[in-house]
C-alpha cells in the first residue's frame, strides 16, 4: 500500500521469480480512518477505482517493475488516493521469458 504522496512505486521478486498481479487499484476504496489517514482530500469517495490495467501491463511476468504516479489518471478529483497492489512471486511458466526490470 502506497499513500498518494509517494511518486514512484517499486515492486519486485527475488531471483528467478516473476510478478503475478492478483489485484491492483489506484484510487480509494476504504475510508480515510482506515487507510492513509494522514492525507486528506476535500472529498471521501470510497468508490474510486482505476489503474488495474496499467499495473498489469507494466508488471505482470516481470521480475521487478517501477510505476510512477504520473502513469495514473486522476479519476476522482479532490479524493486522496493510494496505490494498493496485491501480487505473488511465482516461477515463470514454460516458455515465459523473464524480463528482469520493467
- Please write the tens of the pLDDT for every residue from 34-83: 777 765 555 677 888 888 999 999 999 999 999 988 888 888 888 888 88
* Contact call for residues 46 and 31 (beta carbons, < 8 A): yes
Alpha helices in the chain (DSSP H): 52-59
Domain boundaries, the chain: 2-90
Task: Look up the CATH number of domain 2-90.
Answer: 2.60.120.740
Overall average pLDDT of the 74-101 stretch:
78
pLDDT value of position 61? 94
| pLDDT exceeds 80 at position 99 | no
Instruction: Return the bridge partners of 8, or none.
Output: 68
* Contact call for residues 29 and 66 (beta carbons, < 8 A): no
* Contact call for residues 46 and 30 (beta carbons, < 8 A): yes
Amino acid at each position: 500500500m502506497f499513500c498518494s504522496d509517494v511518486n514512484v512505486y517499486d515492486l519486485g521478486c527475488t531471483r528467478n521469480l516473476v510478478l503475478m498481479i492478483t489485484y491492483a487499484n489506484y484510487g480509494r476504496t476504504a475510508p480515510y480512518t482506515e487507510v492513509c489517514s494522514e492525507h486528506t482530500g476535500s472529498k471521501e469517495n470510497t468508490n474510486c477505482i482505476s489503474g488495474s490495467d496499467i499495473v498489469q501491463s507494466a508488471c505482470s511476468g516481470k521480475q521487478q517493475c517501477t510505476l510512477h504516479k504520473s502513469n495514473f489518471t486522476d479519476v476522482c478529483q479532490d479524493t486522496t488516493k493510494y496505490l494498493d497492489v496485491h501480487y505473488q512471486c511465482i516461477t515463470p511458466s514454460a516458455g515465459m521469458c523473464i524480463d528482469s526490470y520493467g
